[in-house]
Amino acid sequence: MATLLHRDGTDTMTAAVLRGKEDLRIEQMPIPTAGPGELVLRVGAALTCGTDLKVYRRGYHAKMLTLDRLFGHELAGTVIEAGKGVTRFKVGDRVVPLNSAPCDACFFCKAGQQNLCDDLLFNNGAYAEYIRIPARIVEKNTLLLPDAMPFQHAALTEPLACVMRGLEESNATAGKTAIVLGAGPIGLLFIHAAALEGLHVIAVVKRKDQVATAKHFGAAQVVRLADVEDSIAAARALTPEGRGADIVFEAVATPEAWQWAVQMARKGGLVNLFGGPPAGTTAAFDTNLIHYSDLTIKASFHHTPSTARRAFDLLRSGRFLCDDFITGSASLEDVPEVFRRMLTRPAEGTAPEIKTAIYPQQAITAAEPLTAVEAA
In tens, the pLDDT along 286-333 reads: 999 999 999 999 999 999 999 999 999 999 999 999 999 999 999 999
What average pLDDT does the segment 107-123 reach? 97
pLDDT at 376 over 80: no
What average pLDDT does the segment 213-242 reach? 98
pLDDT at 222 over 90: yes
The beta-strand segments (E) located in the chain are 2-5, 12-20, 23-30, 39-47, 69-70, 74-82, 94-97, 100-101, 121-122, 130-133, 142-144, 177-181, 200-205, 221-224, 245-250, 265-273, 296-298, 326-331, 355-359, 371-374
pLDDT of residue 57: 87
Between 24-33, 52-61, 186-195, 319-328, the lowest mean confidence (pLDDT) is in 52-61
* Residue environment code for 184-223, b if the CB has 16+ CB neighbours within 10 A, otherwise e: bbbbbbbbbbbbbbebbbbbbbbbebbbebbeebbbbbbb
pLDDT band (50, 70, 90) for residue 61: low
pLDDT of residue 276: 87
What average pLDDT does the segment 192-206 reach? 98
Burial of 130 (0-12, 13-18, 19+ CB in 10 A): buried
DSSP 346: P
pLDDT of residue 373: 32
pLDDT at 374 over 90: no
What average pLDDT does the segment 118-122 reach? 96
pLDDT of residue 151: 98
pLDDT band (50, 70, 90) for residue 60: low
| Residues contacting 202, CB < 8 A, separation 6+ | 177, 178, 179, 180, 219, 220, 221, 222, 223, 235, 238, 239, 245
Asked if residue 130 lies in contact with residue 7, where contact means CB atoms within 8 angstroms, the answer is: no
pLDDT of residue 345: 74
Between 212-216, 274-278, 307-311, the lowest mean confidence (pLDDT) is in 274-278
Q: Which domains does the chain have, with CATH numbers?
A: 2-158+303-374 (3.90.180.10), 171-298 (3.40.50.720)
pLDDT band (50, 70, 90) for residue 62: low
Secondary structure (3-state) at 225: helix
pLDDT of residue 54: 85
| Span 336-367, pLDDT tens digits | 999 999 998 776 667 789 999 999 987 543 33
Asked if residue 156 lies in contact with residue 186, where contact means CB atoms within 8 angstroms, the answer is: no
pLDDT at 1 over 70: no
